[in-house]
Structure 1
Amino acid sequence: DGCRCPGSSGDALHAWITQMAQYAKVIAPNQLISAGGDGFLCQGPGGRCLGGDGNAFTEFAETSEALKRTFQQWMESQGVSFARTVQVAAVDVATYQARIDTWPQAVTKTLAARDAERTRLIGDWMPMHETAMAGIDKPLILMAFGVEASDKWAQRNQLFRLVLESTLQSKITTGSVFWKLGSVGFTAGHGDAREIVIPSAELPPQAETALRLIRAHATSLSSTPLVTSPPPSPPPSPPPS
């Protein structure tokens, strides 16, 4: 999870992020700095969080609108604001996460029961962060996304397809990072339900679908520019006669 300061406006954590980013620039001036974080979007003045009790949101959300309200209230209570963080001068790269299983119980319970709601929420989550980047000339990366597979491989594959295709089509999002790729004999079997293992012989057949999605995405990346090409330069002026 990213850093959080539940119940606050986010001022304390914002000051700490600003101080640490500036210090990192002093000791490593050529290093690109990111603050990490979940990417919570707050609606208070100047992007500040409105506060609240982050432990209060445990009820099942019956409708999409109820889920949206619950999630927004919970984000406001976490004391960290994506919009404020990306404006820190020493932060070079804007990042956020989409690791649903770290979100409040009211959200995870609802999404576990309604898979279409998961797709809708993530489908909204990415453009919301792109909108928050208006006027900010920094790369935007979805730093971590994934689903605890268990018996939900089809849902995870749907999430991978959505995120990877959206990343390729976006003019703002620079890249995405999933959690995580593993290999038999090294990381497999360490209890991480989000892991995709190569080779996938020990996993359900749906795991091969996930690998195909990743391979296809990697192939597409090789021919996709990470940034928009600049306009062509005007022709030189003719020499004076």
Structure 2
Amino acid sequence: MNSGYREKYLYPFIGITVTATILYFSFDQHFDFTLVLWQKNMGFVAVESTHFTVTDVHDLHTSSKSTLYVNGWNSYWLFEAPSRDTVSRLFKKASQLGLNVCRTWAFSDGPGPNSLQISPGVFNQKALKELDYEIVEARKNGIRLILSLVNNLSVFGGKEQYVKWAQEAGVNISSSPDPFFSDSTIKGYYKAYIKAIITRKNSLSGVRYSEEPAIFAWELINEPRCDSNSSSSILQAWITEMAAYIKSLDQNHLVTVGLEGFYGPTVVEKSEVNPGEWAALFGTDFIQNSAIDGIDFASVHLYPDSWMPLSNDTEKMNFVSKWMDSHISDAENILKKPVVFTEVGCRADVKDQGVYNRKSMFTVVYDKIFESARKGQAGGGAMIWQLLVEDMNEYGDPFSLVAWNEPTTSQLILKQSCRLQSIFWKSKDLERNDPCYGLVP
């Protein structure tokens, strides 16, 4: 190597690198030593009318916009996985099936070795670094994350833990978990948590969460219910306030609610779509809650085995079809936003006439999404609940699966990934390492 090259290029580069490293360590004492210098190029997801779009920057001078459809899954347990290798294997396996979005918990509230928030404003840095790692690994594999910020249920703390914290601080509220949505002290706790997560700088990549394109969206709460206010006015006000607060901190990312999709008592003509009369009594309303300006896309869940335990397989499949048609139509014609079925669960141990029904249900769900996409309608995608990797039984439930060990299921997933791509791309347009290369026309 000649001395002119060293003086002109190499030495300045080394100098800049060393200086930047020293400065970074000086200003961020929590920085993890494992520095990610190069990351996969990704664009932020946006919403245009009833579709998701991504603007991909190819170089300094060129970019292109493409439509994105979600073929995704849930793995709630990522930040407390047994090992980082478990997280890496999951994302690698999922990317091989063409899956592109994972929904997971960005919360765990209360005392415990794996909690993200031990008490209001007090955080477990070790657990947060595992959240950092899953974001880096997702981006490495070309996968985006929907990060849910609190649980309606008491599992992982949830709104019940927030109420308990307020009571311990002397706030005069009932022991019901519903003050979570209305008490100013509790709302202050939740906003402080939101701010801490959204403004966090990743200890591995140095990228703030608010500037991380591998984050698809923020989800306000997993399956919100406000039993004491069936008219949904309390929850409606809470969603409005919290969505606006997130937008004040982060203009790059989408926001969704985390709804199960039940229609409220004010929408009488939709009551027959619900899985039962009970579904209208939880203080939620799919149309009202999803129509709020700060909510970018609607979210719906789908659990016929849990919601209709006495129905036979045919009745459940009819419900699935009607449920999806109704919500896609509402998203297209009323909300004018995309809708994603962010949890789709089917028990592996439920049989009808000796035949497992998981394949039947996933087929109906995937066909509905594909038809909506093919017609340019608002069905933005579906996400399986939930994927595991091997030897993770402690995180399992009756809906869990290790998809790559079930050839029929993995073939269904890959087929859905590829045919959604085929709406816009041909095999010749894909990179050879794309799982759909050669499988689309």
Same fold per TM (> 0.5)?
Answer: yes
Aligned to 2:256: 34
CA distance in 2, matches of 1:86, 1:20: 13
Query: Structure 1 length normalisation: TM-score?
Result: 0.72
Separation in 2, partners of 1:9, 1:137: 23
Describe the superposition over 1:109-161 as per-residue Cα deviations: whole angstroms up to 9, x where unpaired.
x22xx111110001100011123221433111111111121254721110000
Q: 3-state DSSP class of the match of 1:25?
A: helix
Q: Which amino acid aligns with 1:21?
A: A
- Alignment partner of 1:214 is 2:389: no
Unaligned runs of 5+ in 2: 1-221, 426-441
**In structure 1, C-alpha distance between the alignment counterparts of 2:399 and 2:316, rounded to whole Å:** 16
The answer to whether the 8 Å contact 1:182/1:197 transfers is yes
Distance (whole Å) between structure 2 residues aligned to residue 154 and residue 38 of structure 1:
24
Q: Give the letter aligned to residue 178 of structure 1.
A: I
What is the SS of the residue equivalent to 1:222? helix
**Matched residues, percent identical?**
26
- Give the distance between the partners of 1:89 and 1:74, measured in 2 at CA: 28
Q: Secondary structure at the match of 1:144?
A: strand
Q: What secondary structure sits across from 1:40 in the alignment? A: coil
2:330 pairs with 132, 142, 153, which one? 132
**Is 1:154 equivalent to 2:356 in the alignment?**
yes
SS state at 1:183 partner: coil
Summarize the Cα distance change of 1:189–1:208 in structure 2 as closer, same or farther, 3 Å threshold. Answer: farther
Alignment-derived partner of residue 239 in structure 2: 17
Higher strand share: 2
Q: Which has the larger radius of gyration?
A: 2
Residue aligned with 1:196, SS: coil
* Aligned partner of residue 263 in structure 2, secondary structure: coil
Name the amino acid aligned to 1:211: S
State the secondary structure of the residue aligned to 2:255.
coil
Moved beyond 6 Å, runs of 4+: none
Q: How many residue pairs are counted as aligned between the two chains?
A: 193
Residues 70 and 183 of structure 1, relative CA distance in 2, 3 Å threshold: closer
| Cα RMSD for the two superposed structures | 2.4
SS in structure 2 of the partner of residue 181 of structure 1: coil
Question: Is the CA contact (8 Å cut-off) linking 1:184 and 1:199 kept in structure 2?
Answer: no
> Does the 8 A contact of 1:188 with 1:197 survive in 2?
no
> TM-score under structure 2 normalisation?
0.41
What are the Cα deviations for residues 11-60 of structure 1, in whole angstroms up to 9, with x where unaligned? Answer: 1111111111111111112210001110111251xx59xxxxxxxxxxxx
- Per the alignment, in what secondary structure is the counterpart of residue 168 of structure 1? helix
Contact 2:345 2:385 in 1 (8 A): yes
Alignment equivalent of 1:91, drawn from 286, 295, 306: 295
Write the distance in 2 (CA, Å) between the matches of 1:196 and 1:42: 32
> Does the 8 Å CA contact 2:305/2:316 hold for their aligned counterparts?
no
Q: Is the 8 A contact 1:93 1:140 kept in 2?
A: yes
Cα 1:150–1:75 change in 2 (3 A) is same
- Pair 1:166–1:121, CA change in 2 (3 A): same
Alignment of 1:74-223 (within 5 A): 74-103=278-307, 107-108=308-309, 110-111=310-311, 114-133=312-331, 134-152=333-351, 154-170=356-372, 171-185=377-391, 187-188=392-393, 190-200=395-405, 207-223=406-422
